[in-house]
Amino acid sequence: MSKESKAKEPTEVTNTELVLPSHTNHYGNIFGGTLVSFMDITGGLAAMLFCNEEVVTASIEALDFKTPIKQGDVIEQKGRVLYTGKTSMVVSVEVYRVEKFTGNKDFCCEGYFIYVAIDKEGNPKPVPAVKILTESDKQNWEIGRGIKDRALERKKHEP
Amino acid sequence: MSKESKAKEPTEVTNTELVLPSHTNHYGNIFGGTLVSFMDITGGLAAMLFCNEEVVTASIEALDFKTPIKQGDVIEQKGRVLYTGKTSMVVSVEVYRVEKFTGNKDFCCEGYFIYVAIDKEGNPKPVPAVKILTESDKQNWEIGRGIKDRALERKKHEP
Amino acid sequence: MSKESKAKEPTEVTNTELVLPSHTNHYGNIFGGTLVSFMDITGGLAAMLFCNEEVVTASIEALDFKTPIKQGDVIEQKGRVLYTGKTSMVVSVEVYRVEKFTGNKDFCCEGYFIYVAIDKEGNPKPVPAVKILTESDKQNWEIGRGIKDRALERKKHEP
Amino acid sequence: MSKESKAKEPTEVTNTELVLPSHTNHYGNIFGGTLVSFMDITGGLAAMLFCNEEVVTASIEALDFKTPIKQGDVIEQKGRVLYTGKTSMVVSVEVYRVEKFTGNKDFCCEGYFIYVAIDKEGNPKPVPAVKILTESDKQNWEIGRGIKDRALERKKHEP
Amino acid sequence: MSKESKAKEPTEVTNTELVLPSHTNHYGNIFGGTLVSFMDITGGLAAMLFCNEEVVTASIEALDFKTPIKQGDVIEQKGRVLYTGKTSMVVSVEVYRVEKFTGNKDFCCEGYFIYVAIDKEGNPKPVPAVKILTESDKQNWEIGRGIKDRALERKKHEP
Amino acid sequence: MSKESKAKEPTEVTNTELVLPSHTNHYGNIFGGTLVSFMDITGGLAAMLFCNEEVVTASIEALDFKTPIKQGDVIEQKGRVLYTGKTSMVVSVEVYRVEKFTGNKDFCCEGYFIYVAIDKEGNPKPVPAVKILTESDKQNWEIGRGIKDRALERKKHEP
């Protein structure tokens, strides 16, 4: 069976959370590490459900916190597989703050995570290619490849 | 403006979670209370985003745990507003176990929650009616009304 | 040895908790899911100590939240085995808010939980009957049987 | 009103807990700090319900961990006010491991905590005396006074 | 007083953690989001103690997870302010796995975080410059400036 | 090889924490049990890294809470092995509140913990002696021995 035939449509995972006191820092905003934990779960699930394997987080790419998210806010996260290498998947996680009284959504931040599929011994396992159906899929694939390239570039400069 | 004109399409909130060691009991299954917490968040968000108000949980209706959910399992929850009274909303939350290696979904349990919209002083606030568009919306509305009736019935028998 | 001879007096488990910030929602009240978690622990312990076996939660029956419980409040829970079937136990959990400055107790909510005793393989195991000593024990047994009947009724209507 | 008339019978608070994975260290035993947290809650509640005031923990007296408590174990704690000074209360917290399959209780550890009643500004507030009804109350009062004396002794040697 | 005179020596914060079951994913390794939370605390403290102001996390720069960290492992983190702009600080957080039975330290990952000092209204506040004392301080300053430049570059490309 | 030659310099572990809402009681101060958990981790790590073995907490010695620590405060802990017996280690943990806006450190409390080194079966294992290099090491060793003696004294009086 050719690789082509195994290409899969990109998976999207949506998660909505209510920001509780146990998620906040002492300003009453969501604590940065808590938000990254939420995003890592959402991104990891998108990867896991795409490749139907166990996965581990290999890297977190640059992540900018733009709008403060407050206790009692509703946040919506969208995780999406953009690009895959042989055993790795580049996943974007977008975070929106849902304005409770209008339902409007404000973009808060976006992060890119790289996950690797693993077998029971923890060794990397091949993953399907992303099936490109729309122009937007193609743009996502390009973004994902750029991110993967930057991660490989970093690896070269490692001591 | 008539009540009719304010009727809104039922909101659905989907949440996917990975069962971590901190969610489990000593058998390695998800702890019942943790699962209800997840369902209460998902249901509360469906209610909150439907009425665009703050909400509080008024009751949890009968909830049967059918399939054990294990550490490392992926669960998908779907919260949906079925029926609304003047200030209350009946919300169903379905829980599925996503079979990681096939993507198949097994139904695990379903619960019904009643939420009440509140204003800043914590007093009940009117909520929109559910717009009935499909046969399935109608069936849901009937189920929701039945649940609301049972809750009212219980209230009568209170000491 | 006959079944009769194994009948046991109903076990009661009392738990008192202080509502900390990590238990609350963004209104400063106890979060519904947290309260159910507390009740499930208390009820499960009552079942476990009654049958001297491991137990799992089979269902949560209707549970009405009446009085809001606030951060810093003291809550007292009483779990009690009311009725037993062959392998299942119906347990009531009452929750009181203890007024700190007077010691008065306000009734907050009551829930009914059904637990099943299990062996090491997770298969159901027989449990003792509840010994009926007082008129109140008898009333509890009737309430418990009614709850068990409703749970069985729900099971019939399952798809 | 004389001081005598305000003497109160000693309060006892009982708490039963199930040791979940989130309570354990990497050996599968309860983590020491978690157990002390449980004991501090139980002891603080005994003090709070005795004096009907808010309280703060002033000191933890020597506490020996004797029997390891494992994941899935049931522990029972008994908190009891032994002795009171003008604004402080000496509370003992006993911890037992409940043997699930027999109901037998093994003594695990005992700790002594000193709490101080406070008003809204956080200043110490007088507390009732402990009413001595039995010989055992008297022995407890002596133990409590000894502990209070040792705490005062430590204070003298502070830099 | 000139800016020069306010330059401060770089602050270093060291934190050591024991990986407990509540920190792990279902493989028994530390969960990625938990590790980032630890690193964000350590980095934020280094920034806070450097500028003697409250700080918020503005961005997390690329972070590669190299060595899996297991339940029961000891990890040591070193947070260090490398470079400061007008109101922002670039902080590196290095994570080492301490081999318990030898005391050897394995490098696990390094992350760069950007923090902004804020006043009580949440507005950015000036921070001191980093005093360059050694060749290593100078190299760190260059690395930090490169990271800050990349973050500014990303900002330009934002929609 | 003689015992002497295995003597090791005392290990010190420093940990800095930010007090988040999830660490507090309902007055907005750090909850006593949370602080003891932090101290037990810091002390346990100092013991573990000193003897290069797994350790368990055997006892917590008298611990006085002097200064209230508030949400948003920075606390610094220093854990240090003072004295060792054949298989046990006496560790002091000092807690300071770091004044954010000046960097000044206020002493908050000090606790003494006794840890025992264990092998894989959980049996006690010999630990190295503490190498005495300075006058301060010697004073610490005397303090540690006094604490160990008091713990042994308690053991004699056990029922």
- Given a contact cutoff of 8 angstroms between Cβ atoms, the answer to whether E60 and E38 are in contact is no
Q: Please state the pTM of the whole predicted model.
A: 0.90
Dist CA A62 CA A56 (whole Å): 18
- Given a contact cutoff of 8 angstroms between Cβ atoms, the answer to whether B60 and C60 are in contact is yes
- Which one of A32, A38, A155 has the shortest CB-CB distance to E57? A32
Pick D68 or B13 by higher pLDDT: B13
Q: Tell me A4's DSSP state.
A: G
Distance of residue C151 Cα from the nearest chain F Cα, in angstroms: 38
Distance of residue D48 Cα from the nearest chain C Cα, in angstroms: 7
Chains near C, with 3+ CB pairs < 8 A?
Answer: A, B, D, F
Amino acid at E104: N
Amino acid at B138: K
- Which one of F62, F154, F155 has the shortest CB-CB distance to D59? F62
Distance of residue E38 Cα from the nearest chain F Cα, in angstroms: 10
Contacting residues of B for C111, CB less than 8 Å apart: 60
* Cβ separation F60–D63 shorter than 8 A: yes
Residue C3, pLDDT > 50, answer no
User: What percent of the residues of chain A are helix, what percent strand, and what percent coil, each to the nearest 5?
Assistant: 30, 35, 35
As a residue count, chain E comes to: 159
> Is residue C39 domain-resident?
yes
Dist CA D86 CA D103 (whole Å): 40
Confidence band (pLDDT; 50, 70, 90) for F159? low
pLDDT tens for D114-152 read 999 999 999 999 999 999 999 999 999 999 999 999 999
Tell me, yes or no, whether chains F and E touch by having 3 or more C-beta pairs under 8 A: yes
Q: Which residue does chain A place closest to C21, by CA atoms? A: A21
Confidence band (pLDDT; 50, 70, 90) for B158? low
Contacting residues of A for B98, CB less than 8 Å apart: 49
Q: Which helix (H) or strand (E) holds A16?
A: strand A12-18
Contacting residues of B for E26, CB less than 8 Å apart: 18-21, 71-72
As a residue count, chain C comes to: 159
> A25 exposed, middle or buried (CB, 10 Å; 0-12, 13-18, 19+)?
buried
Mutation pick from F17, F18, F22 vs chain A, by most beta carbons of A within 10 Å, is F22
Which tokens hold the place of C68?
Answer: 């809001």
Q: What is the mean pLDDT of residues F19-23?
A: 92
List of residues 6+ apart from C54 with CB closer than 8 A: B27, C48, C117, C118, C119, C120, D72, D100
* Cβ separation C45–D16 shorter than 8 A: yes
Q: Which residue does chain D place closest to C11, by CA atoms? A: D103
- Given a contact cutoff of 8 angstroms between Cβ atoms, the answer to whether F113 and F65 are in contact is no
> Is residue B26 domain-resident?
yes
Treating both helix axes as pointing N-terminal to C-terminal, what angle do B32-51 and C32-51 enclose, rounded to 10 degrees?
160
Distance of residue E97 Cα from the nearest chain D Cα, in angstroms: 16
Dist CA E106 CA E84 (whole Å): 29
Mutation pick from C19, C23, C26 vs chain A, by most beta carbons of A within 10 Å, is C26
pLDDT tens for C106-145 read 999 999 999 999 999 999 999 999 999 999 999 999 999 9
Dist CA A65 CA A70 (whole Å): 13
> Is residue A125 domain-resident?
yes
pLDDT tens for C13-48 read 999 999 999 999 988 899 999 999 999 999 999 999
List of residues 6+ apart from B159 with CB closer than 8 A: none
What DSSP line would sit under chain C, residue for residue? --SGGG-BPPPEEEEEEE--GGGB-TTSBBPHHHHHHHHHHHHHHHHHHHHTSEEEEEEE--EE--S--BTT-EEEEEEEEEEE-SSEEEEEEEEEEE-TTT--EEEEEEEEEEEEEE-TTS-B---PPBP--SHHHHHHHHHHHHHHHHHHHHHHT--
Q: Which residue does chain D place closest to E24, by CA atoms? A: D22
* Cβ separation E24–B20 shorter than 8 A: yes
Dist CA A43 CA A78 (whole Å): 8
Task: At E57, give phi and psi (nearest 5°).
Answer: -75, 125
Percent of chain B having pLDDT more than 70? 96
Dist CA C51 CA C81 (whole Å): 10
Percent of chain F having pLDDT more than 90? 74
Dist CA A10 CA A58 (whole Å): 19
Question: According to the model, what pLDDT value does residue F3 have?
Answer: 41
Q: Which residue does chain A place closest to B79, by CA atoms? A: A16
Q: What is the mean pLDDT of residues E32-54?
A: 95
Q: Tell me D145's DSSP state.
A: H
Measure CA F147 to chain center.
12
> Which of D6, D46, D13 is CA-nearest to residue D130?
D6
Dist CA D96 CA D102 (whole Å): 14
Distance of residue B34 Cα from the nearest chain C Cα, in angstroms: 7
Contacting residues of F for E91, CB less than 8 Å apart: none
pLDDT tens for C79-107 read 999 999 999 999 999 999 998 888 899 99
Which tokens hold the place of C89?
Answer: 């136990």
> Is residue F159 domain-resident?
no
> E119 exposed, middle or buried (CB, 10 Å; 0-12, 13-18, 19+)?
exposed
Question: According to the model, what pLDDT value does residue E158 have?
Answer: 67
Contacting residues of F for E74, CB less than 8 Å apart: 45, 48-49
Dist CA F152 CA F154 (whole Å): 5
- Given a contact cutoff of 8 angstroms between Cβ atoms, the answer to whether B125 and B87 are in contact is yes
Q: Which domain holds residue F87?
A: 4-154
Question: According to the model, what pLDDT value does residue D158 have?
Answer: 67
Residue A62, pLDDT > 90, answer no
Question: According to the model, what pLDDT value does residue A40 have?
Answer: 95
In angstroms, what CA-CA distances link F121 with A76, D27, D125, F118, F124?
47, 10, 50, 8, 9
Give me chain C's average pLDDT, please. 91
Question: According to the model, what pLDDT value does residue C158 have?
Answer: 67
Residue A158, pLDDT > 90, answer no
Question: According to the model, what pLDDT value does residue A11 have?
Answer: 83
Distance of residue D22 Cα from the nearest chain E Cα, in angstroms: 5
Question: According to the model, what pLDDT value does residue C19 have?
Answer: 94
Confidence band (pLDDT; 50, 70, 90) for D103? confident
Interface of E with B (CB under 8 A): 21-22, 24-27, 31
- Given a contact cutoff of 8 angstroms between Cβ atoms, the answer to whether B80 and B145 are in contact is no
pLDDT tens for F68-78 read 899 999 999 99
Residue E110, pLDDT > 60, answer yes
> Is residue B159 domain-resident?
no
* Cβ separation A33–E56 shorter than 8 A: no
Dist CA D127 CA C44 (whole Å): 36
Q: How many structural domains does chain B have? A: 1
pLDDT tens for D30-61 read 999 999 999 999 999 999 999 999 999 999 98
Tell me, yes or no, whether chains A and E touch by having 3 or more C-beta pairs under 8 A: yes
Taking residue C122's Cβ as centre, other Cβ atoms within 10 Å add up to 13
Q: Which residue does chain F place closest to C74, by CA atoms? A: F26
* Cβ separation F72–A22 shorter than 8 A: no
Q: Which residue does chain A place closest to C25, by CA atoms? A: A20
Contacting residues of E for D31, CB less than 8 Å apart: 20
Question: According to the model, what pLDDT value does residue E144 have?
Answer: 96
Question: According to the model, what pLDDT value does residue D143 have?
Answer: 95
Q: What is the mean pLDDT of residues B131-155?
A: 93
Question: According to the model, what pLDDT value does residue E159 have?
Answer: 58
pLDDT tens for B85-122 read 999 999 999 999 998 888 899 999 999 999 999 999 99
Distance of residue A7 Cα from the nearest chain E Cα, in angstroms: 27
Please tell me whether residue D28 adopts helix, strand or coil conformation. coil
> Is residue D159 domain-resident?
no
Confidence band (pLDDT; 50, 70, 90) for C62? confident
CATH of the domain at A15: 3.10.129.10
- Given a contact cutoff of 8 angstroms between Cβ atoms, the answer to whether D147 and D83 are in contact is yes
Residue E54, pLDDT > 80, answer yes
Dist CA B132 CA B145 (whole Å): 14
Which tokens hold the place of B6?
Answer: 């304010």
> Is residue D72 domain-resident?
yes
Question: According to the model, what pLDDT value does residue B20 have?
Answer: 93
In angstroms, what CA-CA distances link A74 with A125, B49, B51, C26, E34?
36, 9, 14, 11, 22
- Which one of E16, E42, E72 has the shortest CB-CB distance to F13? E16
Residue D5, pLDDT > 60, answer no
- Given a contact cutoff of 8 angstroms between Cβ atoms, the answer to whether B112 and B84 are in contact is no
> Is residue E159 domain-resident?
no
Taking residue C67's Cβ as centre, other Cβ atoms within 10 Å add up to 14
Amino acid at D34: T
Dist CA F118 CA D68 (whole Å): 13
Q: What is the mean pLDDT of residues B11-18?
A: 92
Question: According to the model, what pLDDT value does residue F158 have?
Answer: 67
Please tell me whether residue B118 adopts helix, strand or coil conformation. strand
Q: What is the mean pLDDT of residues F51-70?
A: 92
Phi-psi region of E23 (alpha: psi -120 to 50; beta: other; left: phi over 0): alpha
Treating both helix axes as pointing N-terminal to C-terminal, what angle do D32-51 and F32-51 enclose, rounded to 10 degrees?
160
Residue D3, pLDDT > 60, answer no
* Cβ separation E64–A59 shorter than 8 A: yes
Dist CA B93 CA A139 (whole Å): 36
